C-alpha cells in the first residue's frame, strides 16, 4: 500500500507538477512497481475522460437573452442610482417576460375580435379591459382615426435605447381556427403576421410570427 | 491559471474593453460577456449541474464583475479575474444551499445529462455502439461528479476542466497546497470508486 507521500508523488506526476528530475525518477519507479503503474494508468484514463466529458466551454442556452438580461440588470442598477428614474420599471424587464408579448398580442386580438371591419370603430370600443402586471405602469388605449389603429399607451416604462430595433405591425383583422384552437393575426395586405394559441394553463402563447419586412 | 481563448485577429483585446467598461461603457461589457459566457457557464454548470441555476449564477458572476470592474487593476488577465469572481459566486451559492456530496443523487438534476454527454462525443464516424458508450460514460461522469462534496468537486474541476496548476487552485479557493493535493487525491479516489464498473476491464 502506498504511503501518503507516495500517493502525492503519483498525483504530482499525473498533474505535471514534478520537475524533470523528479519525473524521470518517478517514471523509473513505475517500471519496477506494476501495481503503482496500473494505478497511474487508471488515473490517467480517468483524467482524460473527465476532460473529454466535462467541456471547458459550453453553449449558453438563449445566449442573446443571457446578454440582454445582463444589460437589463446593469440598467436597473444605474436607475437605482438615479432618483428620477428609480421607480420606473424597465421596459426590458417587461420584455423579458415571455407572457408579456403574448398577453399584449392577446389584448390586441381581443380588440380585433370585437371589431367589425365594415364599421368605423369608435374610441374606447376596441379594448374593453387591460391587465397591467405592474402597479408602476399605467396603461390606456384609444382609437386613432388618423392612423386607423388602436393605440396602446404604457406610461412608466424606461426610454427605449435608440439602438434597439422596434418592429411594428398594423394588424387589421384576426381569424380564429376552432379546430386548432389558434388565432391568426393579419396585416392590411392580408398577410398572416402571427399565430397564437393558449397553453395547458390557458395562458396565451405565440406559436409563430412572420419576420418583419420594412 | 485558466488560459483565455486565443483572440481572433482583429478582435478588440480584453484590456481595451475593460478600460471602456471602467469608463461606464456597457456595450464593451456586452462584448466581454459574449466572449466568455460559454466558459463561465460551463464552470457554473459543472459545479451546480442544473441548467437554470447555472445560467442564473453565470449571470450573477458577470453582474458582480461589472460592479467590481472599477477596482480591477488589470494585474491579471480579465478571464482569470472573472473566473475567480465566478468561483466565489458559485461557492457562496453552494454553501447557502448546503449541498453535500454524500447526499442521495437526484436524477432530476441531470435530466439533460445524456445530451451533455453526447456533446462531448466527437461527431462523425464513430460506430453507434461507441458513441452510445461515450454518451453513457459522460452521463456516469456527470453523476459521479455530482456526488462529490462541493469542495472536492471544485478542486477536480479546477484541475481537470480549467487545467489550473496547484498553486493557482490554492490561490483561487483559497487554501494551502497541501489541501489542494489532499482534496484532489480524495476526489479521484471517490470518482474511481463511483466509476469502478466503467474501468473494471482496465485492471
- How high is the pLDDT of residue B57? 96
- How confident is residue B201, by pLDDT bands cut at 50, 70 and 90? low
Q: Which of A51, A63, A71 sits opposite B161 (nearest CB)?
A: A51
- Say if residue A199's pLDDT is above 70: no
Range with lowest mean pLDDT among A131-135, A151-155, B117-121, B122-126 = B117-121
For chain A, percent of residues with pLDDT exceeding 90? 27
Mean predicted lDDT score pLDDT of chain A: 73
Q: What does the pLDDT average to over A157-180?
A: 74
- Each residue's pLDDT tens digit, A5-38: 567 899 999 999 999 999 999 999 999 999 999 9
Does A61 contact B at CB distance below 8 Å?
yes
Cβ pair B156:A60 closer than 8 A: no
Q: What is the mean pLDDT of residues B46-52?
A: 90
Chain B nearest CA to A60, separation (Å): 6
Contact A42 B202 (CB under 8 A): yes
The answer to whether the CB of A109 falls within 8 A of the CB of A174 is yes
CB contact under 8 A, A58 and B42: yes
HSE-CB of B189 using CA atoms within 13 angstroms: 11
3-class SS shares of chain A: helix, strand, coil, % to 5: 40, 20, 40
- Chain A positions touching B30 (Cβ under 8 A) are 67, 70-71
B55, A66: Cβ pair inside 8 Å?
yes
CB–CB contact B58 A60 (8 Å): yes
Name the more confident of A145 and A96.
A145
Contacts of A47 in chain B (CB under 8 A): 160
- Secondary structure element (H or E) that encloses residue B133, with its range: helix B128-147
As given in the structure block, the three cell numbers for residue A30 are 513505475
pLDDT score of A148 more than 60: yes
Q: Closest partner residue to B38 among A47, A60, A62, by Cβ?
A: A60
* pLDDT band, very low/low/confident/very high, at A111 (cuts 50, 70, 90): very low
- When mean pLDDT is compared over A200-209, B133-142, B184-193, B194-203, the highest value belongs to B184-193
B33, B55, B160 member nearest A54 (Cβ): B160
The confidence score (pLDDT) of residue B22 equals 93
- Which residues of chain B are within 8 Å of residue A36 when distances are taken between CB atoms? none
pLDDT at B151 over 70: yes
Say whether residue A19 is in contact with chain B using an 8 A CB cutoff.
no
User: Is A212 in contact with A169 (CB distance < 8 Å)?
Assistant: yes
Instruction: Give the pLDDT confidence score for residue B123 in this predicted structure.
Output: 42
Nearest CA-CA distance, residue B102 and chain A, Å: 20
Is the Cβ of A214 closer than 8 Å to some Cβ of chain B?
Answer: no
| Whole-number pLDDT of residue B147 | 92
Q: Is the ipTM of this complex over 0.85?
A: no
Q: Are strands A138-144 and A182-187 parallel, antiparallel or unpaired?
A: unpaired
**Do B158 and B164 touch, CB atoms closer than 8 A?**
yes
Query: Which of A52-66, B23-37, B105-119 is predicted with the least confidence, judged by mean pLDDT?
Result: B105-119
Q: Which residues of A touch B137 (CB under 8 A)?
A: 49, 53
Query: What letter would DSSP give residue A89?
Result: B
pLDDT at residue A117, rounded to an integer: 42
Which residues in B lie closer than 8 A to residue A63 (C-beta atoms)?
34, 37
Long-range contacts of B176-185 (CB under 8 A, 24+ apart): B180/B155, B181/A8, B181/A11, B181/A12, B183/B151, B183/B152, B183/B155, B183/B156, B184/A11, B184/A15, B184/B155, B184/B156, B184/B159, B185/A7, B185/A8, B185/A11
Residue of A nearest to B59 (CA): A70
Q: A with B: how many residue pairs have Cβ under 8 Å apart?
A: 117
Mark yes or no for CB contact B37/A66 under 8 Å: yes
Q: Cβ of B181 and A53 within 8 Å? A: no
Segment A113-137 shows an average pLDDT of 54
Distance CA B111, CA B51 (A): 10
What would the pLDDT profile of B62-121 be if each residue is shown by its tens digit?
A: 999 999 999 999 888 899 899 989 989 998 898 888 654 444 444 344 333 333 333 333
For residues A36-59, average pLDDT:
93
User: Cα–chain-centroid distance for residue A29?
Assistant: 55
Q: Would you say A158 and A93 are in contact if contact means Cβ atoms under 8 Å apart? A: no
Whether B19 has a pLDDT exceeding 90, the answer reads yes
What mean pLDDT comes out for the span A178-206? 73
- Output the pLDDT for position B38: 96
Cβ <8 Å between A60 and B191: no
State residue B106's pLDDT score.
Answer: 43
User: What residues in B contact A158, CB-CB < 8 Å?
Assistant: none
Above 80 in pLDDT, residue A62? yes
Chain A, window 92-151: residues with a beta carbon less than 8 angstroms from a chain B beta carbon: none
Query: Distance of CA B62 to CAs A60, B134, B152, Å?
Result: 14, 33, 24
Q: What DSSP letter does each residue of B95-115 carry, written as one string?
A: HHHT--TTSPP-GGGGTTHHH
Flag whether pLDDT at A177 surpasses 50: yes
Residues A113-128 have a mean pLDDT of: 46
* Min Cα–Cα distance to chain A from B75, Å: 24
Average pLDDT over residues B2-6: 55
Kindly list the domain boundaries of chain A, sorted by start residue: 4-53, 63-209
Domains annotated on chain B, with CATH: 1-99 (1.10.1740.10)
- Considering only CB atoms, B160 lies closest to which of A17, A50, A66, namely A50
Cβ <8 Å between A56 and B162: yes
pLDDT of residue B112: 35
A17 touching chain B per CB within 8 A: yes
pLDDT score of A113:
42
pLDDT at A50 exceeding the cut of 80:
yes
Amino acid at each position: 500500500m502506498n504511503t501518503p507521500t507516495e500517493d502525492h508523488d503519483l498525483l504530482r506526476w499525473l498533474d505535471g507538477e514534478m520537475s524533470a528530475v523528479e519525473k524521470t525518477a518517478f517514471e523509473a519507479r513505475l517500471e519496477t512497481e506494476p501495481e503503482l503503474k496500473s494505478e497511474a494508468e487508471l488515473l490517467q484514463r480517468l483524467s482524460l475522460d473527465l476532460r473529454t466529458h466535462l467541456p471547458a466551454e459550453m453553449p449558453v442556452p438563449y445566449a442573446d437573452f443571457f446578454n440582454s438580461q445582463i444589460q437589463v440588470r446593469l440598467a436597473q442598477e444605474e436607475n437605482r442610482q438615479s432618483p428620477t428614474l428609480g421607480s420606473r420599471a424597465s421596459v426590458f424587464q417587461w420584455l423579458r417576460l415571455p407572457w408579456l408579448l403574448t398577453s399584449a398580442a392577446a389584448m390586441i386580438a381581443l380588440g380585433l375580435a370585437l371589431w367589425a371591419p365594415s364599421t368605423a370603430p369608435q374610441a374606447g370600443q376596441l379594448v374593453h379591459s387591460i391587465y397591467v402586471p405592474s402597479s408602476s405602469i399605467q396603461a390606456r388605449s384609444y382609437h386613432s382615426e388618423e392612423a386607423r389603429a388602436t393605440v396602446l399607451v404604457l406610461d412608466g416604462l424606461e426610454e427605449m435605447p435608440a439602438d434597439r430595433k422596434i418592429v411594428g405591425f398594423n394588424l387589421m383583422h384576426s381569424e380564429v381556427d376552432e379546430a386548432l384552437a389558434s388565432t391568426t393575426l393579419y396585416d392590411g395586405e392580408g398577410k398572416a403576421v402571427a399565430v397564437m394559441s393558449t397553453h395547458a394553463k390557458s395562458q396565451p402563447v405565440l406559436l409563430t410570427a412572420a419576420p418583419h419586412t420594412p | 491559471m485558466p488560459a483565455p481563448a486565443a483572440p481572433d485577429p482583429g478582435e478588440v483585446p480584453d484590456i481595451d474593453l475593460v478600460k471602456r467598461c471602467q469608463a461606464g461603457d456597457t456595450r464593451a461589457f456586452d462584448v466581454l460577456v459574449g466572449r466568455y459566457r460559454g466558459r463561465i457557464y460551463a464552470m457554473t454548470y459543472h459545479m451546480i449541474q442544473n441548467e437554470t441555476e447555472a445560467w442564473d449564477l453565470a449571470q450573477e458572476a458577470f453582474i458582480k464583475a461589472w460592479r467590481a470592474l472599477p477596482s480591477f487593476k488589470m494585474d491579471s488577465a480579465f478571464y482569470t479575474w472573472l473566473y475567480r469572481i465566478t468561483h466565489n459566486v458559485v461557492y457562496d451559492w453552494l454553501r447557502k444551499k448546503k449541498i453535500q456530496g454524500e447526499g442521495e443523487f437526484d436524477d432530476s438534476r441531470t435530466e439533460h445529462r445524456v445530451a451533455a454527454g453526447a456533446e462531448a462525443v466527437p461527431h462523425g464516424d464513430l460506430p453507434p455502439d461507441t458513441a452510445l458508450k461515450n454518451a453513457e460514460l459522460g452521463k456516469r461522469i456527470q453523476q459521479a461528479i455530482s456526488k462529490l462534496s462541493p469542495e472536492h468537486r471544485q478542486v477536480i474541476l479546477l484541475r481537470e476542466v480549467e487545467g489550473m496548476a496547484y498553486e493557482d487552485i490554492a490561490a483561487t479557493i483559497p487554501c494551502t497546497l497541501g489541501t489542494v493535493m489532499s482534496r484532489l487525491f480524495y476526489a479521484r479516489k471517490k470518482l474511481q470508486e463511483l466509476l469502478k464498473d466503467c474501468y473494471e476491464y482496465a485492471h
